[in-house]
Amino acid sequence: MPSFVAGRKPVIEALRNGRPIDSIILLRGIRGSVLEEILQLAALKKVHVKEVDKQQFDALAVEAATQGVVAVLPDRPPCDLPQILESIRRRNATGFLLILDQIEDPHNLGALVRTAECAGAHGVLIPRFHAAAVTPAVTKASAGATQHIPIAEVTNIVNTIKELKEEGFWIVGLGAEGDRVYREQDFTVPVALVVGNEGRGIRRLVKEHCDFLVRIPLYGAVESLNASVAGALVMYEVVRAREKKT
C-alpha cells in the first residue's frame, strides 16, 4: 500500500523539505494561492503533477483530510529488527529504540514516531497485530517522520525484548505504577523504551519482562497523560541524559 501526504500545507512542507515524492495528485477544478505554490514547488523539484476527477481522487482512500491535494510517497523498503541492530552497530552508537505495545490510535502512533525521529531514536518497533499500522493517516500525523526512521513490525513483543536484552539493551517501561520517576533512570546505556496502550498501558507479560518501570509524576486531578505526550517526555529525557554525559 503506498504512503501519502494529504492536505495543502503538509504537501508544501514535504516539497520544501526535499522529501522524496513520486507524484502529486490534484482534484480537478481546485484553485487558490496555496495550490499555485504547490505547482511552483513541484515544477522546481521536478515532481510530476496529475489532475484527476472526483471518482479517481476518492479511490485513493486516503485516511485524512486531503483538501484536494495528495502527494504519493515512494514505498518504504521493508525493515526488521536485525537490520536496525546492524545499523546501530555500524554507527557504533548507544542504542535507543522505542517499543510500542498495542498503540491503537493512528494519531498517537504518528506523534510517537515523529518524536522518536526528532529525538534521534534508531528505530521504532510495533506489533504486527492488534495495533495501529503505518497508514497514510499515521504518515500525516508523523509529519513525514515515518519516511525517515526505521519502523519494524514484530510478531511477539516479549520475544523481541528477550532478543534486545541479549544485545545489551536495558528495557524501560513507562507506567503509573513505576517504582521510580523517569528522571531518576539511567538512560546513558543502550535503552529500549516501552510505551503501552492508550487505555490499558503495557500488557502484564510485557511489563514483567521490563528491567525497570518508570513513572511521570502527576500533580493535577487527571490520572494520566496522553500516550504520545508521556512517550515524548521520556524520549527527550533520554536525549537530555546523553547530552549531559557528553
Query: 3-state SS of 122-168?
Result: CEEEEECCCCCCCCHHHHHHCCCHHHCCCEEEECCHHHHHHHHHHCC
Residues 108 and 174 in one domain: yes
Q: Which residue is it, cell 510500542?
A: 100
Query: Distances from the Cα of 141 to the Cαs of 76, 98, 122, 128, 135, in angstroms?
Result: 17, 17, 19, 20, 10
98 contacts 231 by C-beta, under 8 angstroms = yes
Residues 60 and 94 in one domain: no
Residues 131 and 210 in one domain: yes
Residues 141 and 170 in one domain: yes
Residues 27 and 65 in one domain: yes
CA distance 169 to 156: 17
CA distance 146 to 144: 5
Residues 52 and 169 in one domain: no
CATH of the domain at 43: 3.30.1330.30
CA distance 16 to 146: 17
Residues 90 and 188 in one domain: yes
Residues 58 and 91 in one domain: no
pLDDT digits (tens, 9 = 90+) for 157-196: 999 999 999 999 999 999 999 999 999 999 999 999 999 9
Task: Write out the residue range of the structural domain in which residue 219 sits.
Answer: 81-245
**pLDDT for 212:** 98
Residues 45 and 144 in one domain: no
Looking at 73, 92, 124, the residue that finishes a domain is: 73
CATH of the domain at 98: 3.40.1280.10
CA distance 37 to 40: 5
Residues 97 and 141 in one domain: yes
| Of 30 and 83, more confident | 83
Is 67's pLDDT higher than 90?
A: no
Looking at 48, 73, 98, the residue that finishes a domain is: 73
Distant-in-sequence, close-in-space partners of 213: CB < 8 Å, separation ≥ 6: 172, 173, 174, 175, 177, 178, 179, 180, 207
Residues 207 and 228 in one domain: yes
Considering 84-88, 142-146, 219-223, the range whose residues carry the highest mean pLDDT is: 84-88
Looking at 14, 41, 73, the residue that finishes a domain is: 73
* Overall number of domains in the chain: 2
Residues 161 and 117 in one domain: yes
Q: What percent of the chain stands above pLDDT 90?
A: 69
Mean pLDDT taken over the chain: 91
